[in-house]
Structure 1
Amino acid sequence: MTDRSTPDARRRVYQRRRIVVFGALALVLALLVGGGVYTANALGAPIPAAAPEVSAPEPLAAEPQALVLPGFGGYAVGAVGFDGLLAAGEADRPMPSASITKVITALVILDAHAIPPGEAGPEIAYTEADIDIYWDMVAQNGSVAPVAAGSSLTLRESLEAMLLPSGNNYAISLANWAFGSGDEFLAVARAWLDEHGLVNTRIADSSGLSLDNVSTPTDLIALGKLALAEPTLAEIVATQRVVVPELGPLENSNKLLGTHGVDGIKTGTTDDAANLLFSADFAVGSSTVTIVGVLLGGENHAVLRSAIAALLDSVAPGFHEVAPLEAGQQLAEYDTPWGDSARARAADGASVIVWSDTPVEVEVHAEPVALASSGEQVGTAIVRAGTQELTVPLVLDADIDDPGTWWRLTNPGALDAAAPQSVDDR
């Protein structure tokens, strides 16, 4: 064992330390001076990007909703904001639409004579010609609403008389007022049907009295959605009773109105069948879902109403709110070779309303990161449910800093590595 207490021993230890220290300094100087090219390249080289480790949520799906289907006629059920049909039977079979035709009449007239919000539209004078139309409809056993020669009604009041008690006479009088004649109305109405893609719907008159007025359940769902998008029409069909000074009280023929969520739209009756184009609103989580449905070919309106009520009561619970993402939820993680780490989190929460067993999926797109600040967006999370799609930004919860001179000089292999590509979780 060496005795370090003697002067010679201490001198030898001191000399060895000087060799180590100056050797290290010599190495640094060699890198800085003798290896100038390497040093410049190392200090100026791009930082290697850290690839994300993605952790996407698992898809979510409920059990299929059990429905109470009518068991007769042609029917379809859809919902505003949802593509396709929730339920259907004989959905593409043309059937007489009867007074549901008046919804087309109202939309075509309002397309030509829009009523501004809060107003009632132009005044319409009724004459002896309108009295003749009234008695002609009575003779044909058609539904009518009262009219008086010399009276004047607003367009809104006239539409109420056409739609609530299903006044055939007002459908004819309004078509004549708006377009000059029934034939001119039909030309415009047929062009309107083509324009809106209702290719399986045929219109033979403005009232629906003719059995040549036919449509399919699929087309009628689209028609119902158009009706609800027209504010004046949507308000009228949701009204149970209105008093028009010139006419007295007018009652809505839709006896389901106000029950089972129903707030529209139009009855239709032939000698052989009862029909109803209906809408209903249901609260789902923090939102409201509007269902649009139609049932054609009921034995009578009592049977029809019972079937629709049971169908709606089984459809409504099938909608539910799903929250696949919470604000701050971790969806990816970054770890750098020099020891920095950060997580990519959802900037916001996301929730969607889904029907039945529609799956809800989250697709995470996180970009490789070299240098970044906390709060910086580094990708997106895409929530998909059927045709619905929501995009949520991904943000870092910490900084990823430059590793510094020493790490750059001592990790040439890492600097030479190619930067990784974008990482997606599909």
Structure 2
Amino acid sequence: MSRTLESAPPAPPSPSRPSPAVYRRRRIVVFTALAIVLGLLIGGGVYTTSALGAPIPAAAPAVDDPDPIASEPQAVVQPGFGTWAVGAVGFDGLMSAGGQDTPMAMASIAKVVTTLVILDEHPIPEGEGGPDIAYTDADVDIYWDMVAQNGSVAPVVPGSTLSLKESLEAMLLPSGNNYSISLANWAFGSVDAYVERARGWLADHGLDQTTIVDTSGLSLDDVSTAADLVRLGEIALENPTLAEIVATRSVDIPELGPLENSNKLLGTHGIDGIKTGTTDDAANLLFSADVAVGDSSVTLVGVVLGGDTHALVRSAVADLVDSIGPGFHEVDALEAGRPLAAWATPWGETATGRAQEGASVVVWSDTPVDVAVDVSSLRTADEGDEVGTATVTAGSEVIEVPIVLDAGIHDPGAWWRLSNPGGLDHGVAADPPAARPTPAG
């Protein structure tokens, strides 16, 4: 039996290979897409790193400087004769003056210099009388010599012994010229030695317009200016022994009896010192006075030289003190908590810088009180941080008050940084634009 053989179906045609041009196009598309994806991944990472690491912008302060404070000028009742000057302890300059640089005979005000020079050599501890001094017939001779010259004297007893403090009381209260000489001889060996020491003391204290030729001021060549004598009075009040003596109306020394202070203004108009002076032609008074200012007080130191009588000088001094005193006043320059600066950040936080404490000053007349605020820009800070200083200035007095934040300024966080690329402070580029290379093409 025969078989009929059938032929196999034809095989499917094999796919044709792409042409080289098609292959190149496909490769370009693939690698371009890959590059775009990689670029997005890499670029996003660079941006994220840059945004999260860049400094946040600094918030600039809005400053509120208080306006200067000044009162009306104080009217002063001036003497209208001689020369005068009035200052105040702790205040620069003079409150009132007339002819303050004109040299005038100071008379027994010179005994203030004598006292200070002696106490420099022999200081008296507080509450004590100092060394004992024996008085002899030689001191009695000095007494009678001063009487012959029509100088003021205090009694002296041969064979008596007084403490240094008692001896100074006899010199200062009744203005005993004889005790000024006896004390100079005791302390320095002679009047000439004292005068040499006194001139050095004056130079050391900058009293260049004051001349000393003796211990008592009896000579008209013992001269000074009102400005110098105000400074001398301030130095005198710094010495506790001298300040106590000149504020005393009278003492009773057993060997000498009662001694009265020649300053008849003591205890009136707040006056508590310092020394009278009398020449053949004029009366002088170097004075100190305490005037109340709020809860405190101010010590005035002044002098009037060249009055016809002590009564006239006393009246002039009383008018000066009474008219100058009310010119001192307390100014509340800052209140605690007063807002002085404010900060607002681009991400919505705000904080205020406030005075940590109050500040008040006592000023004279129309002396201006100024407050200067010094703060800077802030990036972050905590509540209570000190962020600046408010400087209160009134004449020579300066008070610095810290400024503190009443709220914190915090980092805005990652989301604000990523969503506000234009608000970040990226710093200065490593290369300025002009120095960057120009791309080829």
TM superposition score normalised by structure 2: 0.87
2:140 aligned residue (116, 123, 131)? 131
**Structure 2 CA distance for aligned equivalents of residues 80 and 206 of structure 1:** 27
Q: What letter corresponds to residue 336 of structure 1 in structure 2?
A: T
Would you say 1:213 and 2:222 are equivalent positions?
yes
1:370 aligned residue (372, 375, 379)? 379
Which residue does the alignment assign to 2:27? none
Which residue does the alignment assign to 2:150? 141
SS in 2 for 1:321: strand
**Structure 2 CA distance for aligned equivalents of residues 31 and 208 of structure 1:** 100
Which residue does the alignment assign to 1:17? none
Which residue does the alignment assign to 1:413? 422
**Structure 2 CA distance for aligned equivalents of residues 72 and 204 of structure 1:** 26
Would you say 1:119 and 2:132 are equivalent positions?
no
Q: Cα–Cα, structure 1 residues 249 and 400, in superposed 2: closer, same or farther, change >3 Å? A: same
- Asked if the contact 1:98/1:213 (under 8 Å) is kept, the reply is yes
**Structure 1 CA distance for aligned equivalents of residues 249 and 228 of structure 2:** 26
- Quote the sequence identity (%): 69
Q: What letter corresponds to residue 136 of structure 1 in structure 2?
A: D
**Structure 2 CA distance for aligned equivalents of residues 197 and 167 of structure 1:** 27
TM superposition score normalised by structure 1: 0.90
Segments of 5+ residues of structure 2 without an aligned counterpart are 1-37, 429-441
Would you say 1:62 and 2:71 are equivalent positions?
yes
Q: What letter corresponds to residue 44 of structure 1 in structure 2?
A: G
Which residue does the alignment assign to 1:39? 48
1:333 aligned residue (342, 349, 352)? 342
**Structure 1 CA distance for aligned equivalents of residues 191 and 160 of structure 2:** 22
- Asked if the contact 2:284/2:307 (under 8 Å) is kept, the reply is yes
Which residue does the alignment assign to 2:305? 296
Would you say 1:402 and 2:402 are equivalent positions?
no
Over alpha carbons, which structure has the higher Rg?
2
**Structure 2 CA distance for aligned equivalents of residues 144 and 79 of structure 1:** 32
Cα displacement (A) at 1:46: 1.8
- CA deviation string 1:107-164 (max 9, x = no partner): 0001111111121111111111111001111111111111111111111111111101
Residue pairs, 1:300-315, within 5 angstroms? 300-315=309-324
- Asked if the contact 1:31/1:38 (under 8 Å) is kept, the reply is no
1:81 aligned residue (90, 103, 109)? 90
Cα displacement (A) at 1:316: 0.4
Q: What letter corresponds to residue 112 of structure 1 in structure 2?
A: E
**Structure 2 CA distance for aligned equivalents of residues 169 and 32 of structure 1:** 106
**Structure 2 CA distance for aligned equivalents of residues 137 and 291 of structure 1:** 33
- Asked if the contact 1:257/1:263 (under 8 Å) is kept, the reply is yes
Residue pairs, 1:151-162, within 5 angstroms? 151-162=160-171
1:192 aligned residue (201, 205, 226)? 201
Which residue does the alignment assign to 2:357? 348
**Structure 1 CA distance for aligned equivalents of residues 314 and 43 of structure 2:** 94
Segments of 5+ residues of structure 1 without an aligned counterpart are 1-28, 420-426
Which residue does the alignment assign to 2:179? 170
Q: Cα–Cα, structure 1 residues 289 and 346, in superposed 2: closer, same or farther, change >3 Å? A: same
Q: Cα–Cα, structure 1 residues 357 and 31, in superposed 2: closer, same or farther, change >3 Å? A: farther
**CA RMSD across the alignment:** 1.5
- Asked if the contact 1:32/1:39 (under 8 Å) is kept, the reply is no
Q: What letter corresponds to residue 233 of structure 1 in structure 2?
A: L
Q: Cα–Cα, structure 1 residues 32 and 348, in superposed 2: closer, same or farther, change >3 Å? A: farther
1:381 aligned residue (356, 373, 390)? 390
Which residue does the alignment assign to 1:13? none
- Asked if the contact 1:48/1:417 (under 8 Å) is kept, the reply is no
Would you say 1:235 and 2:244 are equivalent positions?
yes
- CA deviation string 1:91-120 (max 9, x = no partner): 110010000000000000011111111211
- Asked if the contact 2:131/2:163 (under 8 Å) is kept, the reply is yes
SS in 1 for 2:207: coil
Would you say 1:282 and 2:291 are equivalent positions?
yes
SS in 2 for 1:161: helix
- Asked if the contact 1:48/1:418 (under 8 Å) is kept, the reply is no
SS in 2 for 1:187: helix
**Structure 2 CA distance for aligned equivalents of residues 128 and 31 of structure 1:** 115
Q: What letter corresponds to residue 395 of structure 2 in structure 1?
A: G
Cα displacement (A) at 1:37: 2.1
Q: What letter corresponds to residue 243 of structure 1 in structure 2?
A: D
Which residue does the alignment assign to 1:226? 235
**Structure 1 CA distance for aligned equivalents of residues 132 and 355 of structure 2:** 56
- CA deviation string 1:235-267 (max 9, x = no partner): 111111111121111111000111011010000
Q: Which moved more, 1:35-44 or 1:372-381?
A: 35-44
**Structure 2 CA distance for aligned equivalents of residues 379 and 286 of structure 1:** 30
Q: What letter corresponds to residue 235 of structure 2 in structure 1?
A: L
- Asked if the contact 2:271/2:288 (under 8 Å) is kept, the reply is yes
Would you say 1:72 and 2:89 are equivalent positions?
no
Which residue does the alignment assign to 2:258? 249
SS in 2 for 1:158: helix
Q: What letter corresponds to residue 371 of structure 1 in structure 2?
A: T
Q: Which moved more, 1:241-250 or 1:292-301?
A: 241-250
- CA deviation string 1:351-387 (max 9, x = no partner): 0000000111100001211111111000000001111
Deviant stretches of 4+, over 4 Å = 29-34
